[in-house]
Amino acid sequence: MFHLDKEKFRVGMRTTKSGVAVGFCVLLFKLLDRGSPMLAGLAAVFALREDCSQSLHHGIRRVGGNTVAGILGVTLIAIKDFLGLDFSVDFFGTIIAVIILIMVCNILDMSTAIVGATATFLVVFYNIDDTEKITYAIQRVLDTVIGTSIAIGVNYLLPGAPQTPSEN
């Protein structure tokens, strides 16, 4: 039914680096009085991979996906305001925007960013006040850049798993 594997009760370097990266996001946001470090912390955990090159690879895709999502969200809001249609744009526009978002992410080799980008689009379009949507979209991308940069820095500065001669 339920079995605890004692081997899994360990803290590895990637887990430690993730915690440290999120901690640095919290510290930086406190020092800059920037508000909630939640999105930067999430970006740090998502970006932190086995090594710096993988972290950079995933981080770039995440930033790109969030940028596309923010642009689509703000564009759809502008269309909605221009046409004066609420539910029609909400329903059909969301369907079209999500399809475009996924297509663009796939075309730009950012398929790993699709889920996060879709979340960004939906939050921008449905959960943020109309007067703050553009600012929020920009801040969301900036928070992703901050968290990703911190993850890459932590990954670079903290030691990784020892390599055997065949891995060099």
| Confidence (pLDDT) at 165 | 45
CA 12/CA 49 separation, integer angstroms: 12
**Does residue 68 lie within any of the structural domains?**
yes
DSSP states along 88-157: HIIIIIHHHHHHHHHHHHHHTT-GGGHHHHHHHHHHHHHHS-GGGHHHHHHHHHHHHHHHHHHHHHHHHH
| Confidence (pLDDT) at 9 | 78
List, for residues 97-118, the tens digit of each pLDDT value.
Answer: 999 999 999 999 999 999 999 9
Tally of domains in the chain: 1
**Does residue 6 lie within any of the structural domains?**
no
Structure tokens at 149: 């940069």
**Does residue 164 lie within any of the structural domains?**
no
List, for residues 42-92, the tens digit of each pLDDT value.
Answer: 999 999 998 889 999 999 999 999 999 999 998 998 888 888 888 888 999
- Average model confidence (pLDDT) for the chain? 89
Helical (H) or strand (E) element with 82: helix 52-83
**Does residue 8 lie within any of the structural domains?**
no
**Does residue 94 lie within any of the structural domains?**
yes
27 lies in which domain range? 13-157
**Does residue 72 lie within any of the structural domains?**
yes
Task: State the angle between helix axes of 114-127 and 94-107 in degrees (0 to 180), rounded to the nearest 10.
Answer: 150
**Does residue 44 lie within any of the structural domains?**
yes
| Confidence (pLDDT) at 3 | 80
Structure tokens at 11: 């803290």
| Confidence (pLDDT) at 1 | 66
Whether the pLDDT of residue 34 is over 60: the answer is: yes
| Confidence (pLDDT) at 92 | 94
**Contact status, residue 28 vs residue 146, Cβ threshold 8 Å:** yes
**Contact status, residue 57 vs residue 51, Cβ threshold 8 Å:** no
**Does residue 3 lie within any of the structural domains?**
no
